[in-house]
Amino acid sequence: MNVGYNTDIKYRNEVFHIQTEDKGQGNPLIETLVYLHGEILLSRRVSYAHLLGATEKNKTVKNLMKTQHDQVCAELKGGNFSHLLSMDTQSVEDTTLDEMVLEYLQKQNR
C-alpha cells in the first residue's frame, strides 16, 4: 500500500480538503475524496486490479495516485465542482431580481 496525498485548497472563501489513498492489494482502488467542513462532497475511485501482477506495480500505482490527486485539485480550482456547493458558499452579485431578469432578456435578444 502506498502513502497517500492530502491537500487543502481555498476556493470561494472555503477550505476544501482533498485526500487520495491506495486502498491496498486486497481492495485495489485509488480513492480521492473532497471534503468541506468534514463532509464528503465528492469521491472518485479507480481500480488498479489489472496492475496486480505488474513488476513495477508500486511505482505505477503511486503515479496514478498523484495524477488523480492533481486532476481533482485542478478541477476544484477550475470551478468544476461549484454545483456541489450550497448557495451560502456561492457568491451572488448584489443585483435585484428585476436587474437579473433584464440582463437575461438582453442576452436572449443578442
What pLDDT is attached to residue 55?
86
Contacts of residue 17, defined as CB under 8 A and 6 or more positions apart, other chains included, come to: 6, 7, 8, 34, 35, 36
Q: Which residue has the cell 467542513?
A: 37
Contacts of residue 95, defined as CB under 8 A and 6 or more positions apart, other chains included, come to: 103
* Domain boundaries of the chain, sorted by first residue: 5-108
Q: What DSSP assignment string belongs to 41-75?
A: EEEEEEE-GGGTT-TTHHHHHHHHHHHHHHHHHHH
What pLDDT is attached to residue 94?
55
Cell matching residue 67: 495524477
What pLDDT is attached to residue 87?
52
Q: Does 101 score more than 50 pLDDT?
A: yes
**HSE-CB for 25 with a 13 A CA cutoff:** 7
What pLDDT is attached to residue 80?
83
Radius of gyration from C-alpha coordinates of the chain: 20
Dihedral sign for Cα atoms in the order 89, 92, 98, 100: negative
Q: Does 91 score more than 50 pLDDT?
A: no
Q: Does 7 score more than 60 pLDDT?
A: yes
Note the residue count of the chain: 110
pLDDT tens digits along 11-53: 878 899 999 999 988 999 999 999 999 999 999 999 999 988 8
pLDDT tens digits along 46-81: 999 998 888 888 899 999 999 999 999 999 988 887
The pTM score is 0.73
